[in-house]
Amino acid sequence: MQYLTIGIIFILAIFAIHLSSKRGIPALLLFIVLGMTFGMIVIEFEDFEFSYNFSTLALMVIMFYGGFGTNWNMAKPVAKEAIVLSSFGVVVTSLLTGLFLHYVLGLKLLEGMLIGSIVGSTDYASVSNILRSKNLNLKYNTASLLEIESGSNDPTAYTLTMVFLSLIVGSKVSAPIMILFQIGLGIGLGFVFAFVVEKLIKKLPIEADGLYAVFMVSAMLITYSVTDFLGGNGYLALYILGIYLGNMEFRGKRDIVFFFDGSTQIMQIGLFFILGMLSNFSKFISALPIALTIFVFMTIIARPIAVYGLMFPFHLKRNQINIISLAGIRGAAAIAFAIMAVNGNSGYSVDVYHIVFGICLLSSLVQGSLMPIAAKKWDMLDPNDTVLKTFNYYQNKAEIGFLETRVRPDSNIVGSRVKDLNLPFDLIVAKIERNGEMIVPRGHVIIEEDDLIVLGGHIHFDESGQELIEFTIPKGHQWSNKRIKNLDLHQDHLVVMLQREGSDVVVPTGDTLVLENDKVIMLKLEHV
């Protein structure tokens, strides 16, 4: 009977995902509501210990794959801003919220600080879900900034939660030493295990389908367990491990992407469902007023103060800071930390779990729903790109790639039939777009000028990940306003393509002028 129940839950979750994409409701919010409904109608669930163990495992998978999916080349320009927000941003938000709970709502100081720490971080699963499902390609690399911030700030919140929880239960620990161990060991062991795993990937004869995924899961579990056992922050170590490995190129990478794509979805569905089922509806309603008060304070005061104050030295644009402030969505990690706090001590003056649960539910509903609207209103959307390019797993999902080219009036293929094109190499005409309409490229179709032809073929696998590189020409760059033939390039370097803002891809010649903001794709063979 229990397996039948699990099957029904996942079928309902699939319908929830479909409803989310059609109605614009955050999918993870629907999973929570589904869990709450199931807990009220079908079974009463109050196993906090099981919920904590499952949430720990789920967060391990989500944190690792969050790092694995971070495209460092896209993220590098905003890495400093993201790291400041993921560390000091969490501290400022947590402390302001804790002080508000103590001085305004009358909670004990340590309890207020504990709750502030629990809800101090933004939720990677929620933020990435909103960005991807709504294809919110935000200007100025803001999507990458939010991706790194939300993926790396849970360890800071976890460390603060552990510190204040220890102080509440009376443990004789030194907060500075505890923080130093958590962060220092987390970073250090994350890089150590990443280096070891990299060497093992190159040495081990892993050839069977699926074994790369098994190996990666094993590496993930060992990294977290050893780091946590030694007193370090296991989530931080996993995030670093994920970033390091996700930006490598190796033969089994596609297997890992598909495996973790599915397992992360399952973990997110299961986590939010269990967290919803764990809540008690009457207790949730009782805690809702204080949860609403805290949510409003964090959204309107605490998060904006942290973002505006910390981002001031980076001279970000006002609309960019606005969208970053709004994107402080609270979610699974906060609820999981609340479970940890409940398991660690039961003598609180308030219902910590349901207060945090209410904050996260309101945050997902309000902020998640407002993100697409606000991005459009604040002119933060870039219609000429896709946010999926900021994630490594987007580019590793297909063995077939597609190229598009516009037929110019002077092209010698104008008037030719598709079957007579005699395309070189293993390429095929996948579709033709003419005057805004799609044409099936059958053999008898005549090519006309201004047709947009989409070609399909096998993608190139660059094992080193360093031969074909992409970068954008910034203001004042030495290549700006120079012709390619005048660039001081090594004989084994070649500019193979340019992408210009608001225009098609440019196939360069020696006389092509390189302009500011051009995306340059270059073949770079250092070893030749």
* Cα 352 to Cα 329: distance, rounded to the nearest angstrom: 19
pLDDT at 465: 45
Q: Return the residue matching tokens 């962060």.
A: 183
* Cα 114 to Cα 413: distance, rounded to the nearest angstrom: 69
pLDDT at 16: 65
- Alpha carbon of residue 515 to chain centroid: 31
pLDDT at 184: 86
Residue 512, φ and ψ in degrees, nearest 5: -65, 130
Q: Which amino acid is at 526?
A: E
Other C-beta atoms within 10 Å of 222: how many? 14
SS3 category, 523 = strand
- Alpha carbon of residue 232 to chain centroid: 23
Token pair of 268 as six digits: 């997110």
pLDDT at 464: 44
pLDDT at 288: 92
Given 3.20.20.100, 3.40.50.11750, 3.30.70.1450, 3.40.50.1000, which CATH number is that of 466-528?
3.30.70.1450
pTM of this prediction? 0.68
Q: Helices 154-169 and 234-246: crossing angle, nearest 10°? A: 170
Provide the sign of the torsion angle of the four alpha carbons 311, 316, 319, 324, taken in this order: negative
SS3 category, 505 = strand
Helices and strands (H and E) in the chain: how many: 20, 10
Other C-beta atoms within 10 Å of 442: how many? 11
CATH superfamily assigned to domain 400-458: Regulator of K+ conductance, C-terminal domain (3.30.70.1450)
Q: What is the DSSP letter of 512?
A: P
Provide the sign of the torsion angle of the four alpha carbons 22, 28, 32, 38, taken in this order: positive
What is the residue-level pLDDT of the chain in tens, covering all 528 positions? 556 766 776 676 667 666 655 555 566 677 777 788 877 776 777 777 788 888 888 888 888 887 887 777 767 788 888 889 988 999 999 999 999 999 999 899 999 999 999 999 888 777 877 777 666 778 888 888 888 888 788 888 888 888 888 888 776 667 677 778 888 888 899 999 999 988 888 777 766 556 778 888 899 999 999 998 888 888 889 988 988 888 877 767 777 777 787 777 778 777 778 888 888 888 889 999 999 999 999 999 999 999 999 999 988 889 999 999 998 888 778 888 888 888 876 678 888 889 998 998 898 888 888 888 898 899 888 765 555 445 444 444 445 566 778 888 888 888 888 888 877 666 788 888 888 788 888 888 889 888 888 887 766 645 444 566 666 777 777 888 888 888 888 777 888 888 776 556 777 888 888 888 787 877 776 544
pLDDT at 359: 92
Tell me the DSSP string of 384-426: TS-GGGGBHHHHTS-SEEEEEEE--TT-TTTT-BGGG---SSS
To 5 degrees, how large is the angle CA 145–CA 149–CA 153?
175
Whether the CB-CB separation of 388 and 139 falls below 8 Å is answered with no
Whether the CB-CB separation of 487 and 514 falls below 8 Å is answered with yes
Residue 429, φ and ψ in degrees, nearest 5: -75, 115
CA separation, residue 272 to residues 21, 27, 126, 161, 441 (Å): 18, 10, 11, 21, 45
* Cα 376 to Cα 127: distance, rounded to the nearest angstrom: 17
Residue 383, φ and ψ in degrees, nearest 5: -75, -10
Long-range CB pairs of 125-128 (<8 Å, 24+ gap) are: 125/28, 125/62, 125/268, 125/331, 125/332, 126/26, 126/28, 126/150, 126/329, 126/330, 126/331, 126/332, 126/363, 126/364, 126/368, 127/327, 127/329, 128/66, 128/69, 128/391
Give the domain 2-33+48-392 fold.
Na+/H+ antiporter like fold (1.20.1530)
* Cα 338 to Cα 359: distance, rounded to the nearest angstrom: 11
Q: Return the residue matching tokens 């039948």.
A: 4
Other C-beta atoms within 10 Å of 109: how many? 14
Token pair of 467 as six digits: 């031969």
Helix runs in 24-141, H state only:
27-41, 48-68, 72-75, 79-84, 90-103, 109-118, 124-133
In the chain, which residues fall in CATH 1.20.1530.20?
2-33+48-392
In the chain, which residues fall in CATH 3.30.70.1450?
400-458, 466-528
Whether the CB-CB separation of 278 and 48 falls below 8 Å is answered with yes
pLDDT at 84: 93
pLDDT at 263: 78
* Cα 528 to Cα 520: distance, rounded to the nearest angstrom: 21
Residue 195, φ and ψ in degrees, nearest 5: -65, -45
